[in-house]
Structure 1
């Protein structure tokens, strides 16, 4: 099972830096908490030794390396279609045909040099090593903004975590606004005025971008989900809070656990995940976390032994979402959360790259 390796210290560090305006490294108090010894001045290549990409998909791989700056990056045997920036260590391009390529990565500075093989597997498998990165929920919860996410990306670079293989900068719940745009997909709310620009800036640093949704009518935090009660994606027939009672304008169903009280923790009659997938690809999304619980409560939250209604993750439903992402022509890692039962352990790897049990 591929897992998403969450930063325990770095989200707090990113949050602290963003709030306090720290730009020149950790404070003395933070330094006392960081027990990891400093990296050697001699070059060392870190991160994944194998990387999966689909034929024709955009390729983005940052050579994670430590050592005194400046570092010079090189690659022996890089296949046609890929280009390495020798100053940043970022490899980009596209590979048209399935196959395996063995590339020798090299990093050098005034103190020495290092080399290591990278195996590039062009096929259907993604996330061949556990994805590593930052998730907004653990720092910002419902208050996340575009500025917070951009600052987290900068913190991964500034603190050197990118040089150890930390790659993904992921928004969790609370970015969603109404449906619209050319795909009829979920659009960002007022806290994210330029999603495409945010993603472009994250990619420019050699990082990747992840986003959140759910197949339900409502997300955990009360924003719209990946299914709808009407074919045009209009949610007006659902019990929305009056605007004056909302904590945020787009938090139309209220804070957790109101989705259970309103019976909205369930898939709606019209799935919108195909529209959303096209929008995610247009923005340049690299990772999607889908909240996909298998059941909802039929009784009020807090009831002893509440009755439940089940919506199991069937192979048909998971395969559909995976196929919609695949059809975009962009490699988007699919993560399912929460609660995947052990009886699905053989089915889930055929379609998703990570899941929670």
Structure 2
């Protein structure tokens, strides 16, 4: 299980860093490929993911225990709720990446942690120990030191507003992934197989209107080149890995844990930015990276030692009993 947890996190980090780099290349202004149709891009991501989930079942890549279960049932209301929140998250994130610098895009994501903490505290009564709070603060300070000097003050007001919207919607989306898996007793792959087609179809329907509003044109107006097509194929392929790994990670951990440990992606993204787009890593930024990594490690240790760190028991579906509950009831009856 520990190896599986580590593997899911590593896959999520690598695929996330890769897709951010590819999307920045695809959507960036010339000499990049200037593909500005964000909603269409997101629709293609989820359509590709939907196709992959079905192909995986056919060729036997899906877990054997999942194939023996009854088909996953997630109520339509839950699918609509998740699709709405997730679409808002993915559109705002990619729009922020298109309008803003990579640094502002990453700095805005720092706000997801306090936002998620507040929601988990208010809805699930989750308790954060002093060690966990301190580790979160150290992580945020470290990433802030890495990023703050690179902040592009020419970013537009619209870009900043979109970045704020991405914070709220992304927090809600990450919380819903874990909540729906626990509530409806479905695996990460089963939930992804249910919601991905809905997201792909809804984004495809919305893309002509939303892309027209944001770019003034339609995707059919775009002049494709060989490089742009290769970049699009890489982006869609990476999206499959990002979606699968994210559902796996959020099904195993809380949204706050995902965000804290996921800031390894911030450090990796900035390093990739330096390597491919030039720049020098200053002593302050190096210190920030060390602080961020130390904070992530400290949070991991603190969350493991905190008995109230996981709210999973509070999210147990009504009418269902755990094995431990059944054993206790049987013991009481025998006495």
TM-score by length of 1: 0.23
Which protein is richer in helix relative to its size?
Answer: 2
Which protein is richer in strand relative to its size?
Answer: 1
Which one has more relative contact order, counting CA pairs under 8 Å at least 6 apart?
2
